[in-house]
Structure 1
Amino acid sequence: MNRKTYLLNLILVLLIGLGSGFAGSYYFMQEFSKNLELQEVRTVSFDENSAVINAISEVSDSVVSIVALSEIRLNNGMGIDRFNDILRQFGFEGIESPSMQNPSQDTETKTQKVGGGTGFVISKDGLVLTNKHVVSLQDGIYEVFLNNGDSLYADVLSVDPLNDLAVLQLYVDEEKTQKPDNLKEVKLGNSKDLSLGSRVIAIGNALSEFENTSTLGIISGKNREITASGGNGTVAKLSNLLQTDASINPGNSGGPLVNLAGEVVGINTAIAQMANGIGFAIPIDEAKSVVESVKEYGKIVRPLLGVRYNEINPLLAKKFDLPVDYGAYLLNDLQAGVPAVIKGSPAFEAGLKSGDIITKVDQDEIDKDTSLLDLIKTKKLDQEVKLQVMRDGQFIELSVTLSAFDLQEKLSESQSKETE
């Protein structure tokens, strides 16, 4: 073999070696990256599962099951009283029964379960936040069960005049003289920090039978508005709701909607009857003022502005030739005799009048997704707010100190003075 041939063979061997090395390195890096990606997926999945488990564990002992009881009258009149109820629905006279002639004869009562729901503890001494429709039974008796199975007695302390919220006070004894002192209260988060896709957990007394049922989902919508009907025939318009696909069942009402940090970010309130995976919750930010007022005043005290308004949309703006197509249009109802601004109210004291258009509360704009009521509900009693108002085609700013007052009383006074 001559020198030239030897050199060519040596170069060829080196090239083959280098190629093999590069190929091996490339194969190694590809496999390594696959394993790394798989490891990252497994780590993320493991971390999320741990967060869900920890969040449920953090909140479960603060969630309570509410059982509604009622005294049901029984009689031996072959069910005539119930039959009479059916007859009267169709306009017929009822049939007299022996129990009607002598109500004390052959009549007895029985305490019977008639409904249920969920709530959660907001103070160590037994304040519980729930939905108003859960405890709306007139003369109802409410029994509350803790996660460990212990039962407590409850009084409806206060209901919210503006939202589907109520606060219960729990007692250890049937005479309701002794409050608990060591209940675990929930941590309240911030619903404004939620984004579409945020993971949430709904916890509640599903079907009023399966206590502390937990379901996982996401925030699938915000600022929803619905008309909800209760089992007792009541109908309420609810706005600014969170929408979630976490399964919410009858009995879950009043239970917490929780983030992965174990903080309550909503109160489960309603479900869409003709759909799957569509539930609604009141944002916890709207309930914080309720919690604070109950702790301070012993009842729910809402700051009221004292105005009658129409929500402006393009159609209304065109009808009244308004300079803007958003905001709250203050307008006297001449036919009903209801003034746009209630005399003696914070709005009256601030100088608001019929024809004004409120466009902002502080820095928050009133639009199709956020009403004036939505913004006022988030404020505190005696809080000063700045209103941006359009009057006679120009923007002005008015300061209003929100205070509690009897709206019905002030309205009656205004109407009587208008007719004098």
Structure 2
Amino acid sequence: MPTPRFPSSPLNTRLFVLLLVVACVGGLVGSTVGLMAAPSLREPFLGLIRQPMTSPTGITVQPPVMVKDRGIAEDEQTIGVVEKAAPAVVSIVMTKEFTREDFLGLHEDEMFAPFMDIPFDGPMRIGGGSGFFVSSDGLIVTNRHVVGDEEASYTVVTRDGTELPATVLARDPVLDLAVLDVEGTGYP
């Protein structure tokens, strides 16, 4: 069904142009009057804002002071927190025993031929992640996916390079958290 068209008459066009001109002129006049009147209306309001506020208990509240170098102070705080927490951060290395049988079939593929001279027997480091000490007696928290392989063994490497065998105490797949334990005491 075609949309009905209204005939355009010279009267409708003139009326539209007249309304448009009146609206523009009215907006210009209103803006000018508002700008001229604004200083007299604005000053009493700004005077109220600039005064210190007092509470019923007599405590005077001053307006906030602008700090220009806020970013530097925040950076220094962040650096301080990192320096304090860094000794507790550890690396976690996942090691797994492999035999040549684990790689059967690869030697038949030409793509893997250059790697067939690599010794496949024995422990291999296959993954890792990070964690942090949460107690001085050796409890470490990490992500579950870091220690997700139940057949692998895990080693914790401290900040000074000491390697400690770790035991996985708990894994939570929902929260993706895990708890490890290393022997000893006096950890950060």
TM-score (norm 1): 0.25
Match of 2:99 among 73, 76, 80: 73
What residue is the counterpart of 1:46 in the other structure? Answer: 72
After superposition, the CA RMSD in angstroms is: 2.8
- Larger gyration radius, structure 1 or structure 2: 2
Could you tell me how far 1:84 is from its partner in structure 2?
Answer: 8.8
Could you tell me how far 1:161 is from its partner in structure 2?
Answer: 5.3
Spell out the pairing of 1:242-391 with structure 2 (5 A cutoff): none
**Structure 1 residues 167, 85: CA separation in 2 closer, same or farther (over 3 Å shift)?**
farther
Runs (4 or more) in structure 1 with deviation over 3 Å come to 82-86
Instruction: Work out whether residues 144 and 173 of structure 2, in 8 Å CA contact, stay in contact via their aligned partners in 1.
Output: no
**Structure 1 residues 108, 164: CA separation in 2 closer, same or farther (over 3 Å shift)?**
closer
1:111 aligns with 2:138: no
3-state SS in 1 of match to 2:181: strand
What residue is the counterpart of 2:106 in the other structure? Answer: 83
**Structure 1 residues 47, 74: CA separation in 2 closer, same or farther (over 3 Å shift)?**
same
3-state SS in 2 of match to 1:60: helix
1-structure distance, mates of 2:120, 2:98 = 8
1:183 aligns with 2:174: no
2-structure distance, mates of 1:55, 1:129 = 18
Question: Greater relative contact order: 1 or 2 (C-alpha under 8 angstroms, separation 6 or more)?
Answer: 2
**Structure 1 residues 80, 59: CA separation in 2 closer, same or farther (over 3 Å shift)?**
closer
Could you tell me how far 1:140 is from its partner in structure 2?
Answer: 0.4
What residue is the counterpart of 1:158 in the other structure? Answer: 170
2-structure distance, mates of 1:84, 1:147 = 40
Which consecutive residues of structure 1, in runs of 5 or more, have no partner in the other structure?
A: 1-35, 87-106, 172-179, 185-420
Could you tell me how far 1:46 is from its partner in structure 2?
Answer: 2.3
Which consecutive residues of structure 2, in runs of 5 or more, have no partner in the other structure?
A: 1-64, 110-118
Instruction: Work out whether residues 74 and 110 of structure 1, in 8 Å CA contact, stay in contact via their aligned partners in 2.
Output: no
Per-residue CA deviations over 1:282-339 (Å, capped at 9, x if unaligned) read: xxxxxxxxxxxxxxxxxxxxxxxxxxxxxxxxxxxxxxxxxxxxxxxxxxxxxxxxxx
1-structure distance, mates of 2:171, 2:75 = 37
TM-score (norm 2): 0.54
- Say which structure is richer in helix: 2
Instruction: Work out whether residues 125 and 182 of structure 1, in 8 Å CA contact, stay in contact via their aligned partners in 2.
Output: yes
Could you tell me how far 1:108 is from its partner in structure 2?
Answer: 6.9
**Structure 1 residues 167, 41: CA separation in 2 closer, same or farther (over 3 Å shift)?**
same
**Structure 1 residues 68, 45: CA separation in 2 closer, same or farther (over 3 Å shift)?**
same
Could you tell me how far 1:110 is from its partner in structure 2?
Answer: 2.0
Q: Percent identity?
A: 31
What is the number of residues matched between the two proteins? 115
What residue is the counterpart of 1:404 in the other structure? Answer: none
